[in-house]
């Protein structure tokens, strides 16, 4: 027994002493990362040295309209490649996208009463609309205010008429994006629905919160089984109000002449730039649309988003951050009249089996940011909710919304957590899809603040997911 004790005791004592030494040499816990300080660094860098506003000026004033399959879009593609390289992207490339070729051409709308002369009305053809082949289309106008009126109309009443839909977006809905989407998705605005009843053409009141007479564009969708694809156009609010008054008391004719036509497909490009991850190749995506309507600078929609996405990448490089995951910026082709760019990216990512852990979009203009719409599983939303207090000093409080996801929406098919920058949109639909969407309508400070909070969100995702 003594012998056993003599053998065991030294082993016990050595183990005890060894454990004591480990306790003495134990490292102190690493202090928690100071996110508030990093948020301030990001904010200071962008407000003092940010290039988003000057980049937006170059894109809108230097290039201007950049509609799909036009020289303007080709110029924007080259510009975007150069800007991503200047911002510090280590890999920059173009992704081929087949886009529809649609040409507006000359267009006009005139109206007259039985006792009057033809009066010109400002108008815009719907994107991708069929035209009148350059010939005058003349017919009586029939007023419709809501979907129930249209449902109640017989084919005999609609046949050979030009239907005027005077649908007013609901001013009582405070979130103007919601009011716009409710109106835009209405079957009342479908040329196919009206065409099936025998109508000759469709005129709609512009979907806008403005009270002027500037038309706001919209894209048209035709059903595959449409025997006839009728022309569709939009007019400004003042003209719509005046036309409604006339139609309540007398017959009004319209004369439409639209050269609009589709000319097959062409190749455009998504423009992509990234900083590879130092820990892994999982992707944090930041995206916006590069194209605009053919008549517009597209400053808020979505030049602002383009400039902000590039700024996120530039700021990461400027601050010397080491990103754990790959930070990728994508500038989408063909958002306005087809959405081919976003569908192509999703399809190619699926084929390559790329792993995205987060995607952030910005497509609501360069206004003051208010929050992030979060379309993701509850456990992921909960993680972001925990960061609220870091964002609050920058005016970010709204994390409750789950929709308004735009160009990144197809990525939901790949079960990728999605987010969209929420801004104050009270003025957005004054300019949306119109010739008024110009550089001078964008506040430099609001634009930069949007870039600040986007970069902060990307930073938090990169450090915590």
What does the domain layout of the chain look like in residue ranges?
Answer: 35-102+264-464, 105-259
Strands 261-275 and 91-103: antiparallel
Q: What is the DSSP letter of 99?
A: E
The structure tokens listed for 23 are: 């306790």
pTM, 2 dp: 0.90
Structure tokens at 455: 């970069």
Question: What sign for the dihedral angle of Cα 360, 361, 364, 368?
Answer: positive
Instruction: Please say whether the beta carbons of 402 and 372 come within 8 A.
Output: no
Cα 194 to Cα 149: distance, rounded to the nearest angstrom: 12
- The secondary structure element, H or E, covering residue 326 is strand 326-332
Alpha helix ranges (H) inside 123-234? 147-152, 155-158, 176-184, 191-195
* Neighbouring-strand partners of residue 201: 162
For 334: left if phi > 0, alpha if psi spans -120 to 50, otherwise beta; the answer is left
Phi-psi region of 344 (alpha: psi -120 to 50; beta: other; left: phi over 0): alpha
Q: Which two tokens stand for residue 330?
A: 């994508």
**CATH classification number, 105-259, choose in 3.10.20.30, 3.40.50.1860, 3.50.30.30, 2.120.10.30:** 3.50.30.30
CATH of 35-102+264-464, one of 3.40.630.10, 2.70.70.10, 3.40.50.300, 2.160.10.10: 3.40.630.10
pLDDT in tens, the chain (465 residues): 444 444 444 444 444 444 444 444 444 444 467 999 999 999 999 999 999 999 999 999 999 999 999 999 999 999 999 999 999 999 999 999 999 999 999 999 999 998 889 999 999 999 999 999 989 999 999 999 888 888 888 899 999 999 999 999 999 999 999 999 888 888 878 899 899 999 999 999 999 999 999 999 999 989 988 889 999 999 999 999 999 999 999 999 999 999 999 999 999 999 999 999 999 999 999 999 999 999 999 999 999 999 999 999 999 999 999 999 999 999 999 999 999 999 999 999 999 999 999 999 999 999 999 999 999 999 999 999 999 999 999 999 999 999 867 899 999 999 999 999 999 999 999 999 999 999 999 999 999 999 999 999 999 999 999
Query: Do the beta carbons of residue 235 and residue 122 sit within 8 Å?
Result: yes
């Amino acid at each position: 027994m003594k012998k056993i004790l003599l053998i065991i005791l030294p082993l016990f004592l050595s183990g005890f002493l060894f454990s004591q030494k480990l306790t003495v040499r134990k490292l102190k816990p690493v202090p928690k990362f100071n996110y508030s300080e990093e948020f301030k660094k990001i904010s200071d860098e962008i407000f003092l040295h940010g290039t988003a506003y000057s980049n937006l000026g170059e894109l809108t004033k230097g290039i201007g309209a950049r509609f799909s399959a036009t020289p303007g879009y080709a110029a924007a593609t080259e510009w975007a490649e150069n800007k991503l390289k200047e911002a510090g992207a280590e890999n920059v490339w173009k992704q081929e996208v087949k886009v529809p070729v649609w040409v507006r051409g000359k267009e006009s709308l005139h109206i007259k009463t039985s006792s009057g002369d033809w009066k010109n009305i400002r108008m815009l053809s719907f994107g991708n609309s069929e035209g009148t082949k350059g010939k005058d289309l003349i017919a009586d106008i029939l007023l419709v205010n809501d979907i129930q009126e249209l449902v109640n109309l017989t084919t005999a009443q609609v046949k050979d008429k030009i239907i005027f839909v005077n649908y007013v977006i609901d001013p009582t809905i405070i979130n103007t994006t919601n009011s716009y989407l409710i109106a835009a998705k209405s079957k009342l605005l479908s040329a196919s629905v009206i065409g099936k009843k025998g109508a000759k053409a469709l005129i709609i009141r512009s979907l806008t919160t403005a009270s002027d007479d500037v038309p706001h564009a919209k894209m048209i969708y035709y059903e595959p089984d449409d025997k006839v694809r009728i022309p569709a156009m939009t007019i400004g609010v003042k003209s719509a109000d005046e036309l409604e008054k006339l139609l309540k008391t007398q017959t009004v004719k319209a004369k439409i002449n639209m050269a609009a036509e589709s000319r097959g497909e062409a190749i455009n490009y998504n423009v992509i730039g990234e900083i590879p991850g130092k820990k892994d190749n999982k992707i944090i995506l930041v995206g916006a649309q590069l194209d605009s309507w053919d008549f517009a600078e597209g400053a808020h929609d979505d030049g602002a988003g383009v400039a902000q996405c590039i700024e996120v990448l530039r700021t990461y490089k400027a601050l010397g951050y080491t990103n754990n995951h790959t930070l990728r910026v994508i500038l989408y082709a063909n958002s306005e009249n087809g959405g081919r760019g976003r569908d192509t990216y999703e399809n190619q990512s699926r084929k390559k089996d790329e792993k995205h852990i987060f995607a952030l979009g910005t497509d609501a203009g360069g206004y003051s940011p208010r929050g992030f719409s979060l379309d993701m599983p509850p456990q992921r939303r909960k993680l972001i909710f925990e960061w609220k207090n870091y964002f609050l000093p920058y005016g970010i409080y709204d994390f409750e919304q789950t929709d308004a996801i735009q160009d990144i929406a197809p990525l939901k098919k790949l079960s990728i957590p999605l987010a969209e920058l929420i801004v104050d949109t009270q003025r957005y639909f004054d300019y949306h899809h119109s010739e008024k969407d110009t550089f001078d309508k964008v506040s430099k400070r609001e634009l930069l603040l949007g870039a600040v909070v986007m970069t902060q969100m990307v930073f938090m995702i990169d450090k915590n997911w």
